[in-house]
Amino acid sequence: MDKYKIAKRIEDFAPTETQEDWDCSGWAVDVEGYDEINKIMLCLTVTDDIIKQAKEQNCDLIISHHPMFWINCHSELVSESYVPQINIYCAHTNMDKAQGGTTDTIIEKLGLNNYKISVEHDFLRIIDYKTTVAEFNKLIKPISPNARIINNKRVEQLKRIAFCAGSGSEFIKDAKEFGADCLVTGDLKFHTALDSSIVVYDIGHFESEILILPVFAKIIGNDVKIVYADEYSPFVLI
C-alpha cells in the first residue's frame, strides 16, 4: 500500500493542521523511493530499540504517537547521518484533539463512552458521571495498576470527571472551572499535586496513551500487515 494513502487515512481522522504550533506531527522520516508499504510497526515512542525491532521484522514504516522532537521535521533537507533509513510517521496533538483520539480512548477503555461528553476544551473531555472515589479507583486500576491519586480535600463523591491523556496537569484549573471535581491524566509533578483542589489521578503518561495504538490500526485498515512494538513504560516498581 502506498505510504501517502496510509498517511491520508490518519490525517482524515486527525488533520495535521489541528496540531499545536510547537508540535511535529506528520512525516518525521520520508525515505525517497520507499513508498510501497507491506508492513507497519505501531509504537508510542520511536527509540533506537524500536527502530531495531522494526528493521528486524522487515517493517517499511513506523507509525508513532510521539513525534521525533530531536529532528527538525519542518526542514526539507534532513541529513541521512542523523536519521534511520526507514519511513517514520507521527500523529501527536492532532490525534489528541481528534474525536476518538487519545483522551477518548481512555473514556472508552473505562467503559464510560456511553456517557455524554458535557465539555470539550483544548485536550480536555469532561463527562457527568456520579460515583464514589472508591468505585472509580476500581475502574482505573485495570488500565493503570500503578496509578496514583491526589485527594487533598478528602473528597468521597464524584459528579463530573475530566480526562486528558498524556501530560495534562496544566489543565487542572480549567477542569475545575468547568465544574469537574476530578481529572484523569498523567505526569503529575509534586507541587502541582500539592496545590490541586480537585481529585487528580496520575495514571502515567505511557499508560494513558498506549491505548491509542489499536485506534491507529483500525484507521489504517487491513490493506497492510500491522505489528505492535515491544515497548514498556520506563517506570517500574522496585
Q: How far apart are CA 108 and CA 112, in angstroms?
A: 6
| CATH class name, domain 3-95+210-228 | alpha beta
Does residue 47 surpass a pLDDT of 60?
yes
Domain definitions of the chain by residue range = 3-95+210-228, 102-209
pTM: 0.92
Task: Label residue 237 by pLDDT band (50, 70, 90).
Answer: confident
Within 8 A by CB and 6+ apart from 153, the residues are 197, 198, 199
Domains 3-95+210-228 and 102-209 share a fold: yes
Annotate 146-212 with three-state secondary structure: CCEEECCCCCCEEEEEEEEEEECHHHHHHHHHCCCCEEEEECCCHHHHHHCCCEEEECCHHHHHHHH
Q: How far apart are CA 92 and CA 41, in angstroms?
A: 16
Does residue 14 surpass a pLDDT of 70?
yes
Q: How far apart are CA 217 and CA 221, in angstroms?
A: 6
Q: If you average pLDDT over residues 208-216, what whole number do you get?
A: 98
Choose among 188, 192, 234, 190: nearest CA to 210: 234
Q: For 189-201, what is each residue's pLDDT tens digit?
A: 999 999 999 999 9
Total number of residues shown for the chain: 238
Quote the pLDDT of residue 85: 79
Q: If you average pLDDT over residues 32-39, what whole number do you get?
A: 95
Cell of 119: 465539555
Q: For 73-128, what is each residue's pLDDT tens digit?
A: 444 444 455 456 799 999 999 999 999 999 999 999 999 999 999 999 989 999 99
Quote the pLDDT of residue 209: 97
Choose among 128, 146, 132, 137: nearest CA to 207: 146
Q: How far apart are CA 200 and CA 133, in angstroms?
A: 11
Q: Which CATH architecture has domain 102-209?
A: 3-Layer(aba) Sandwich (3.40)
